[in-house]
Structure 1
Amino acid sequence: MINLFNTQIESLSIHRIGNKSRNEGVFVSQSGFTLSDELVPLIKEYFFKPFREKEENYYQFAHDVDLEYHDMFKMVKAIFDNPSLAHEGSQKIAAHLYEQSNHPHIKNGELYVTYLTHLTIDNQPVDAIGIFKSEIKSEFLQIEEKEKNLDVILQMGINLNKLDKGCLIFNHKADEGYKILSIDSNRYDARYWLEHFLSVDAFQDENFLTKKYLKFCQDFAKEVVLPAEDKKEEVMFMNRSVNYFAKNDEFEESKFLNEVLENPDLIPEFKNYKVDRGQKYSIEDVTNFPIANAAVTDARRKMKNTINLDTNIQIKLDFINPDSAERFVEKGWDEEKQMYYYLIYFNKEQKT
């Protein structure tokens, strides 16, 4: 988890990056920009708001051979080692971004490189480097006095409510390539920002593993449990899975399987499915890991817990109280109507 509430912008450098394939060039500022007191809260909100609203999926710099050959890693490390050289480092980052801006679809724009202090990640105070890019210009009206009338002037500017691209590189886990958060609102070329410019891979921490394992379980439920059992059992399997993650601090696979798979015949099916599909989710060799509570909450919010019937009736099961569905919902077959039915027990209807 991150906390940006007390973050201070210690330095800010601004450069303009053109599209190299269109020979637009790059404008590199010779010195940093000094923020006025009026601009500070606006710029902080512009830079940081997307990260407060975004799910925390972390990345790390990665190189096939060694991080010492990774261009961005070296530039970032040099700034962390000597923050007084942040502007010089920003010029190198600008040149690097320009070299990657060689696809016709890539938009020109302003690059902002900031040195940040007083951030918190994983309950540790750290510094960070923020790299942001504005691309899309918005129209706005400027009203000016002209002699005895008011004149309306159409101008173009940056919409402070939408950051186009950005990343926060935390001075944390440096030996593993730092922990990095990234946003990209204009995904016209998904490879440009993450792959070509930053050159990062997913950071495989407990947050990553929790999300990936729950996604794996969700697909197993859909592709194996549903055909073998029924829709109710598919939902209940995910119900039990999410609640196992919610009530435990550590994941242990054998314990998990014994708790959530009521049909023992599905345990070897689960293991075979993991052998076949585990690599897709980066969990092929994972059997134990710390559970990230925030990731469980995010996953629970996204999971479907509704049984849709062909009679235009929906039954919604509660992921918070899975025992209720086990105890008070029964499925059967009506010989007279030649139809399946669900029998639901309750004491009284809830008034909403």
Structure 2
Amino acid sequence: MLNLYSAQIEHISIHRVGNKSKGETIFLSEAELTLNDETNGLLKEYFFKPFREKEENYFSLANEVDVAFNELHKIASEIFLDPSSTHSNSKKIAAHLFEQSNHPHIKSGEVYVAHLTNIVLDNKKVDAVGIFKSELKHDFLQFQEKGNNLDLVVQQGININKLDKGCLIFNVEKEAGYKVLSVDSNRYDTKYWLEHFLAVEALSDDNFKTKNYLKFCQDFAKEVVLPAEDKQQEVLFMNRAVNHFAKNNAFEESHFLNEVMENPELIPEFKHYKVEKGPKYSIQDVSNFDIANKAVSDARKKIKNVINLDTNIQIKMDFINPESAEKFVEKGWDEERQMYYYLVYFNKEEKN
């Protein structure tokens, strides 16, 4: 769990990185930036807002030979060892980013490098290196008094409500490549930021396993349960799966299958599907892990619990009380109309 409420910017530098393939250059500031209360507050909101709104999908810095050869791993380690070196190391980060900016689609922009403190990660205070980039420029209006009139001036600047790219490198798990969070609002050059600049790989922690196992279950429900049974059973299977994750602290696959799989004939299908599709979700060898509650909450919001009928009627199932859908909803076939039907039992209509 990440909490950025008390985070502080201790050191920050700004540089400009152009597109190398277009003959643009790099501009390195001589000194770090000095912030006042207003700019400090604005920048913290600009930097941190997308991380508060995004799922916590962690990465780690990586390298084919050894993580010590990852450029950002070396630089971040120097900053963590000596925070006063943030400005000199920010130039190295900007230069490294400039070297990766060699595709025509990559936009030039300002690069902010900051040493951050008082971040709460998994209930512990840690420091971090923040790297942020603003790319897209927007027109805005300024007004100037000229005699007895107001004159209109069009200028360009960045939208501080939307960060284009950013990452937080937390000072934990150094030997494994640190824990890293990344955001990227512009999807046209994701390889440039994640693969070429950061050189990260997904961190297989409990959050990662919980999220991916539930995604795997969702696809199993769609591709196996739905064809074998019907839409109602697909929804009910995911209801039971999500609720199993929600009420348990640890996951054990055999316990999960015995509780969630009402049709025993689908258990071999599940195991076969895992062998076939497990590598796609990096869960082929995963059968035990601690459940991450936030990942369950995030998954619950995304999983559809609605049956859409071709008669323009929707039936919404309840993820909190799935037994209601089993007790009070029946599916049948009407011979006279030659149509399927759902029969719903209730005592009274709830008032909104």
Deviates more, 1:208-217 or 1:180-189: 180-189
SS of residue paired to 2:6 = coil
Q: CA-to-partner distance for each residue in 1:224-259, whole Å, 9 max, x for gaps?
A: 001111111111000100000000000000000011
Kindly state the Cα deviation for residue 341 of structure 1 after the two structures are TM-superposed.
1.9
Aligned to 1:18: 18
- Letter of the 2:214 counterpart: L
Indicate yes or no: 2:31 matched with 1:35. no
Kindly state the Cα deviation for residue 175 of structure 1 after the two structures are TM-superposed.
1.8
- Letter of the 1:336 counterpart: E
Aligned to 2:49: 49
Structure 2 gap ranges (5+):
none
Kindly state the Cα deviation for residue 186 of structure 1 after the two structures are TM-superposed.
1.4
Q: CA-to-partner distance for each residue in 1:87-130, whole Å, 9 max, x for gaps?
A: 11101001000000000111001000000000001111000111
Aligned to 1:111: 111
Equivalent residue pairs, number: 352
Indicate yes or no: 2:64 matched with 1:64. yes
Aligned to 1:129: 129
SS of residue paired to 2:102 = coil
Aligned to 2:172: 172
TM-score, structure 1 length as denominator? 0.98
- Letter of the 2:15 counterpart: H
SS of residue paired to 1:189 = helix
- Letter of the 1:132 counterpart: F
Aligned to 2:143: 143
Matches within 5 A, 1:1-352: 1-352=1-352
TM-score, structure 2 length as denominator? 0.98
Q: CA-to-partner distance for each residue in 1:155-212, whole Å, 9 max, x for gaps?
A: 1112111111111111112221111111111122110111110010111111111110
Distance 1:54 1:156 in 2: 28
The verdict on how the C-alpha distance between 1:145 and 1:310 changes in structure 2, with shifts beyond 3 A counting, is closer
- Letter of the 1:292 counterpart: A
Distance 1:62 1:322 in 2: 42
Distance 2:186 2:336 in 1: 57
- Letter of the 1:136 counterpart: L
Deviates more, 1:155-164 or 1:271-280: 155-164
Query: What is the alpha-carbon root mean square deviation over aligned residues?
Result: 1.0
Kindly state the Cα deviation for residue 220 of structure 1 after the two structures are TM-superposed.
0.3
- Letter of the 1:72 counterpart: L
Kindly state the Cα deviation for residue 154 of structure 1 after the two structures are TM-superposed.
1.1
The verdict on how the C-alpha distance between 1:147 and 1:338 changes in structure 2, with shifts beyond 3 A counting, is closer
Q: CA-to-partner distance for each residue in 1:53-106, whole Å, 9 max, x for gaps?
A: 111111110112211111111111111111111111101001000000000111
Distance 1:147 1:340 in 2: 77
Structure 1 gap ranges (5+):
none
Distance 1:51 1:94 in 2: 22
- Letter of the 2:183 counterpart: I
- Letter of the 1:219 counterpart: D
- Letter of the 1:277 counterpart: K
Distance 2:138 2:227 in 1: 51
Distance 2:330 2:2 in 1: 44
SS of residue paired to 2:209 = helix
Distance 1:24 1:138 in 2: 20
